[in-house]
Amino acid sequence: MKILYVGKDKNSYEILNEVASLSQSEVIMVESLEDAKNYITTNRDIHGIIASPKVDNLPSLQLLSILKRDENLKDIPFIILGEDITKEDIEYYKAMGVTEVFEIPFNPLEVFLILTAALKDAKGEEVVKQILHEAKKDKSLFMKILELIKKLFGIKSE
């Protein structure tokens, strides 16, 4: 699965990318709306967008309007991830068609669960199964999750 992260918060990007890698997915970071617009118009294999509310003082909802106008992109989940989000902000974003709104600090697993559920609702379970590469069911996946949890809580590996 390919997810576009639009924003400048490198910590959020790293956490999202770390969790995405558990399912052999990737998060691509772009730091400007112009770069994001170029990316989504030239790369049709994107499966979700996670964006800061504003990027370079411009509303990231500009990207959502591009998605909604394009038949091939209209079902891509769009998640807002920001700080100091009010109840009114959430209501506004939802009314504009945003899939979900998360406030920093956030639970990265919840972000991916919402993103996957939205894809499943829009495109069907079989499509999502094809998009997600099945992680190997062995100790290496468990070890990756354990390392991620340690990293999130600042516990050093032995």
Place of tokens 């920001």: 82
- Residue 132: the pLDDT is 61
- Residue 157: the pLDDT is 58
- Residue 100: the pLDDT is 97
The answer for residues whose C-beta is within 8 angstroms of residue 105's C-beta and 6 or more apart is none
- Residue 97: the pLDDT is 95
Dihedral angle, C-alpha 17, 65, 124, 118, nearest 10 °: 50
Residue 154, Cα to own-chain centre: how many angstroms?
23
- Residue 54: the pLDDT is 95
pLDDT digits (tens, 9 = 90+) for 26-35: 999 999 999 9
- DSSP three-state, residue 39: helix
pLDDT digits (tens, 9 = 90+) for 112-137: 889 888 988 887 777 776 766 544 44
Residue 108: CB atoms within 10 A of its CB come to 23
Regions of the chain where pLDDT drops below 70: 129, 131-158
- Residue 4: the pLDDT is 97
Given its phi and psi angles, is residue 39 left (phi above 0), alpha (psi -120 to 50 degrees) or beta? Answer: alpha
Phi, psi of 149 (to 5 degrees): -60, -45
